[in-house]
Amino acid sequence: MHEVDGSFGEGGGQVVRTSLSLSALTGTPVRIFNIRANRDPPGLKPQHLMAAKAVRSIARGTLEGAEEGSRELVYRPKGIIGGKYEFNIGTAGSTTLVAQTVLPLLLRAKKPSTVRITGGTHNPKAPTWDYFERVFLPALRLFGAKISATLLRAGYYPRGGGEIGLAVSPSALSPVGIWPRESIIKGMISVANLPLSIGLREKKIFIDSGIENVRIREEKALDPGNAVLLWRGFVGSALLGKKGVRAEEVAKECVQALEAEGDVDVDVHLADQLLIYAALAGKTSFKTSRISNHTATSAGIIGGFLEKEFSLEGATAKVD
């Protein structure tokens, strides 16, 4: 039984998701305690709970403590089975975080899989759908992952109701040492149940900043929402519009965040999200803008399961 202190490092839901994924991948039973101990409230929230149940569905076995608010989980995996799966978070919890939890498993399955996840598609403190589709998934494909994804319906806080679809084929991951870079910045603006003028005002800020390749997508959703994404290759910046914050300010902040990443292979958030794939592929390195607490936490959790040692020197991450 592998023991994981849920308050380790960043101490959030990431510790739970990463530990469960690695438990299933290695066939190692895991006990996770002190789950989100420093959060208010502590314990599992619906999206963490759905991630745990999704791993249990795909890798079978037994799962104890899978209740909202639970501060401890015990999971004993049996074996990864590809196939058709549907997961409903039941709230506006992040569909992309649930997807990131199960994707490493499905890549190791013996047959192709399709997955539909219902919940939020554009969430704060989580990869938005647009970032997931245009930055995260292309990075996985560089490792050799065979994944396609579709936005079936957008979902924003508070009701969610969005849906994403995934199609995953078994894939052997290969090391990545050279990351293709792009100099041209692209933009995506999503507007749901709101005046198109909001997106047009954001687009004007992007164009005034020298970013001309910008698309606006109008969506239908249960609740109104607005999201913006700027990206160049594997470096992205995603933000949500907020009530009371002018569209121009949202767009300017997005531009500033992308500029702050600087001359790097992958942005600070992608660096964290790629660590598990880097460890599975081996001999991978990339330069990011800084090593975040999230990234350092992921390296600690992954190293405990896979006996891999990461080098996190300066702003470069390496795994042998």
Q: What percentage of the chain exceeds 70 in pLDDT?
A: 100
Cα–Cα distance between 128 and 254 in angstroms, integer? 13
Residue in the structure block whose two tokens are 């899978």 = 66
**Phi-psi domain of 33 (left: phi exceeds 0; alpha: psi -120 through 50; beta: other):** beta
Please tell me the predicted confidence (pLDDT) of residue 258: 98
HSE, CB side, 13 Å, CA atoms: give it for residue 102: 37
Say if residue 58's pLDDT is above 90: yes
> Is residue 9 a contact partner of residue 303, using CB atoms and an 8 Å limit?
no
Residue in the structure block whose two tokens are 């996190």 = 312
pLDDT bin (cut points 50, 70, 90) of residue 111 is: very high
Residue in the structure block whose two tokens are 């709970």 = 49
Please tell me the predicted confidence (pLDDT) of residue 245: 97
Please tell me the predicted confidence (pLDDT) of residue 309: 84
Please tell me the predicted confidence (pLDDT) of residue 314: 86
> Is residue 116 a contact partner of residue 164, using CB atoms and an 8 Å limit?
yes
Q: What percentage of the chain exceeds 90 in pLDDT?
A: 95
> Is residue 216 a contact partner of residue 191, using CB atoms and an 8 Å limit?
yes
Cα–Cα distance between 128 and 41 in angstroms, integer? 24
- Residue of 48, 122, 269, 294 marked active site: 294
Please state the separation of Cα 27 from the chain's center in Å.
23
**What is the bridge-based pairing of β-strands 186-192 and 213-219?**
parallel
pLDDT bin (cut points 50, 70, 90) of residue 248 is: very high
Please tell me the predicted confidence (pLDDT) of residue 38: 87
Task: Mark whether 48 is an active-site residue.
Answer: no
Measured CA distances, 105 to 44, 77, 108, 192, 252 (Å): 21, 12, 5, 33, 38
> Is residue 298 a contact partner of residue 276, using CB atoms and an 8 Å limit?
yes
What counts of helices (H) and strands (E) characterise the chain? 9, 15
Question: Which helix (DSSP H) or strand (DSSP E) does residue 260 occupy?
Answer: helix 247-261
Mean pLDDT, range 157-179, rounded to an integer: 97
